[in-house]
Amino acid sequence: MYYSQFLVALLLLVVGGSQAQSVWTYTCRNEKFCQRVAVADLPGGGGVPLDVCKLNCDKAHGSLFPLPTGQVTLGPNTTPFYPGYVTPSGYDAYPIPVRDLFRAAAGIFIDYLNKMRPSGPDDPIYRNAVNVRLTASDTSTAMFTLGTDESYTLTVSVSADGKTVTADISAVTFFGARHGLETLSQLIAYDEDLDVLQIVNTASIVDKPVYLYRGLALDTARNFISLDGIKKVIDGLSYNKMNMFHWHISDTNSFAMEVEGWPQFTTHGAYSSEKIYSLADMRDLVAYARARGVKIVPEFDEPAHVGFGWEWGPSAGLGNLVVCLNEDPWYDLCLQPPCGQLNIVNDNVYVMLGHIFTSMLKIFDNDLFHMGGDEVHFGCYNSSEEIKAWMAANGTSTDVAGFVSLWGSFQHQAHDKLVAASSNKDITGILWTSELTHREYISEYLDPAKYVIQIWTETLNADTPAMITDGYRVIFSNYDALYLDCGFNAWLGSGHNWCSPYKGWQSIYDHSPHGIYANATNSTMADAALADGRLLGAEAPLWVEQADEKAYESRLWPRGAALGERLWTNPTTNWADAEHRMVTNRNRMVARGINADAMQPEYCSMYQNKCYGPGAWDGEVTSPPTSPQTPAPSPATSPQTPAPSPPTSTPPSSTTQGNQSNCRIMLVFSPYASLNSLEKFLRGGTGAASSTVGGIFLVITSLLWSLSTA
């Protein structure tokens, strides 16, 4: 009997102990770093949870990302509150399209807060009010364009009694106000000690972006990405104040986009009937993005990167709509299999382009449209008897100049079809750099008033400064700096893929369009190009030959965020100044549901000034390493996992509490410590601590059963 009572008491002690607070807390050092310290070392209190510490420890930046471009003032104090006591207001009288955008954005903001602190019992002492007032002077702009004002100001104040926090966000347009809401969300953190949210209760921020075009491109044709998957990309863009989602929706591999009135495209071109973007899907996606301050720029790539989905032409009496589709050897006809290019001497091709453009522009915005235009392979056209016969009949040579002329004629006709399909006759086409954009051809075939050039060629390509100087607006997507699919194994043959090495977030952060053009010309010319919009911005593409629904997020993030700050802020400092905020921002994205890749061991967040490169010690840490190299592991241990200490009977010190006590017991009962089925039963404790308690529970209940049957 006494044994049973003792063991039950031990069980209750262990379960209750798992609820004890951590022995660690965080303090701000030098108004810059959050440092983990033992609670026992702060007898007078003063520590706070890590995320709360990061809100305003760095007085100049806090944990804001991207860094604001104007004045930033953050107060030293926070006010606790619950999500249910937040009230957005200020926009209900606006015209319906803009009012609905504000309502959607306010709902998204509240959702952020509920994710930080799920509903639960409230302590009356923390039922403080947070009033968020949103205003825009332009209440008619409900569609983002390259001329949209994205500036905002944010002020946060607290009432004299400390019971009410007021956040005022004022902007010219909804899109600026939405950015202000994102900034406000970054002044809020979850306080796990008190189980409340904390908000910086005095702040003043003035902010606007440097570059007009700040985006990511995602290919969903080589591997299908679901609608929900694409929405997560848009979420990530919004968290980083990036405003452009370039959707590479079709390619030779597949045609998954529904075209109104022409089901043949998806019937022949989709990977399966489940892998299709319906008209309703695309409308939903446009609305979803707009409420998050993101514009979808659709790309219909042509005349190359076209194939499956077009092969039904002969059976419909339209002739061959494509040439060299899926032919071998592919390397003589295209740059990767499967091959395929539009049959640009067939008049029915232009008729079908008109139908496609009309269908797309009923859904997507009618001011920017990506027309592709890269990697046109003259070997493909030279293999087509139909095309060669047409060229001969029309006196066009089959040399490079002749094929460029044929291509230029196609581009002119395709653009005419785009304009005819659009209600906006000033619609701008975007084209990738290609043979057609070389300096000897570009002015003949491409009018700078009608086209934006997206530069995927190398950073130091000589054509780039020339086209900017000649008046072309450009988007930087240099493959040697911004391609997110680089640095992995080859999928054609062995070795690494063609654009290796991997592009780390640091080099992406430092990739400055202004700096590139200034280095090629001078800073005065670069300033002028930025001011007049020729330096539109940049975009990091992800081609998904080797990234499907299971892998694409970690390829995009957090590297995409690094580009986001480069384009919003254009900082004069390099990546090192942003590193701590990058890590915090990555963790914030993960908390919101983005599967962003890890940047560092979690230790580095707990000791912000400890993780630095060789030679970078600034004297602020207390114990600099004696060697820049990681010590080699002893032969008896794995390089990843240290050898476990043997069980000890030494009692825990007076400062060892809660989960640390559990860990000591787990060494004894480790064979039983992975019974996850018991975790939900046990009060308190999560992760390893809960499993530990589960193991102990099994041992105790087994002993009780033995005693009761003895």
Give catalytic residues, as residue numbers.
375
Distance CA 681, CA 666 (A): 18
Place of tokens 């990767």: 336
- Each as own residue / partner, the long-range contacts of residues 584-590 (CB below 8 Å, 24 or more positions apart, any chain) are 584/51, 584/54, 584/63, 584/65, 585/63, 585/65, 585/239, 585/240, 585/558, 585/561, 586/557, 586/558, 586/561, 588/63, 588/65, 588/186, 588/239, 589/236, 589/239, 589/557, 589/558, 589/561
In this structure, are residues 81 and 129 in contact, taking their beta carbons and an 8 Å threshold? Answer: yes
Residues 6+ apart with CB under 8 A from 6: none
Distance of alpha carbon 66 from alpha carbon 570, whole angstroms: 10
Closest CA to 703 of 14, 16, 10: 10
Which of 612, 582, 454 shows the shortest CA–CA distance to 509?
582
Q: Which residues have C-beta within 8 Å of that of residue 33, sequence separation ≥ 6?
A: 57, 580, 608, 609, 620
Beta bridge partner(s), residue 341:
304, 323
Residue 71 CA, chain-centre distance (Å), reads 26
Tell me whether residue 453 is exposed, middle or buried, using C-beta atoms within 10 angstroms of its C-beta: 0 to 12, 13 to 18, 19 or more.
Answer: buried
- Helices and strands, number each (H, E), in the chain: 23, 21
Residue 399 class from Cβ within 10 Å (0-12 exposed, 13-18 middle, 19+ buried)? exposed
Helices (H), 422-545: 439-445, 463-469, 479-482, 505-509, 513-520, 523-531
Q: Answer whether 205's CB lies under 8 Å from 183's CB.
A: yes
Give the SS3 label for residue 634: coil
The three state secondary structure string of 224-280 is: CCCHHHHHHHHHHHHHCCCCEEEEECECCCCECECCCCCCHHHHHHCCCCCCCECHH
Work out the burial of residue 393: count CB atoms within 10 Å of its CB; fewer than 13 is exposed, 13-18 middle, 19 or more buried. exposed
Nearest to 424 by CA among 139, 147, 100, 98: 147
Distance CA 518, CA 536 (A): 15
User: Are 538 and 512 a contacting pair, CB within 8 Å?
Assistant: no
Report how far residue 182's alpha carbon sits from residue 367's, in angstroms, rounded to the nearest whole number: 26
Contact between 130 and 109 (Cβ < 8 Å) = no
Residue recorded with tokens 């002329």: 405
Cβ burial 659-694 (10 Å sphere, 16+ → b, else e): bbbbebbbeebeebbeeeebeeebeebeeebbbbbb
Which one, of 144, 174, 149, lies nearest residue 364 by Cα? Answer: 144
Backbone angles phi, psi at 373, to 5 degrees: 90, 15
Radius of gyration of the chain (CA): 30
Pick from 461, 502, 457, 497: nearest CA to 478: 457
Report d(CA 244, CA 237) in Å as an integer.
8
Reported as type and span, the H/E element at residue 400 is helix 400-421
